[in-house]
């Protein structure tokens, strides 16, 4: 089955700890994205990567970091500098060639920091 996997589905952490969210895709997509969603709100772009070993800040990158060492993987680290880390985090991927660029989303990780 081709798709995007995110793990774990639920994650609990104490305030002040860094936490890394996993995102893996087997769609052979070049681009990968991380979004954050707060209750009742739309998705906001945190970071994106269009090629291995390169990534760009989205609209709300402060307090987050990413890496893209492999095409299939785009982990997101929520650092202790992120003031309101509790949220639903979604990973997506897409092609970069052509004109359509449909994004495929993973099932999400719900992070709770107390």
Partner 1 sequence: DAKTTQPPSMDCAEGRAANLPCNHSTISGNEYVYWYRQIHSQGPQYIIHGLKNNETNEMASLIITEDRKSSTLILPHATLRDTAVYYCIVRDILTGGGNKLTFGTGTQLKVEL
**Contacting residues toward partner 1, per CB under 8 A:** 4, 30-31, 33, 35, 40-45, 48, 50-51, 56, 58, 88, 90, 92, 94-97, 100-108, 110
Q: Which is nearer to partner 1, 17 or 26 (CB)?
A: 26
Can you spell out the DSSP letters for 50-109?
A: EETTEEEE-SS-TTEEE--SBTTB--EEE-TT-S---EEEEEEEE--SSS----EE---E
Whose tokens are 């359509």? That residue is 100
Q: Which is nearer to partner 1, 82 or 94 (CB)?
A: 94
Q: What are phi and psi of 98, to 5 degrees?
A: 85, -160
Residue 91 Cβ vs partner 1, minimum distance, rounded to whole Å: 8
Residue 49 Cβ vs partner 1, minimum distance, rounded to whole Å: 9
Residue 16 Cβ vs partner 1, minimum distance, rounded to whole Å: 27
């Amino acid at each position: 089955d081709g798709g995007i996997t995110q793990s774990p589905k639920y994650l609990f952490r104490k305030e002040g700890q860094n936490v890394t969210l996993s995102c893996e895709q087997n769609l052979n997509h070049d681009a990968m994205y991380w979004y954050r969603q707060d209750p009742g709100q739309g998705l906001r772009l945190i970071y994106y990567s269009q090629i291995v070993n390169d990534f760009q800040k989205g609209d709300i990158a402060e307090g987050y970091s990413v890496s893209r060492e492999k095409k299939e993987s785009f982990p997101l680290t929520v650092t202790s500098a992120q003031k309101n880390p509790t949220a639903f985090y979604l990973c997506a991927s897409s092609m970069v060639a052509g004109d359509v660029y449909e994004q495929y989303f993973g099932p999400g990780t719900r992070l709770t920091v107390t």
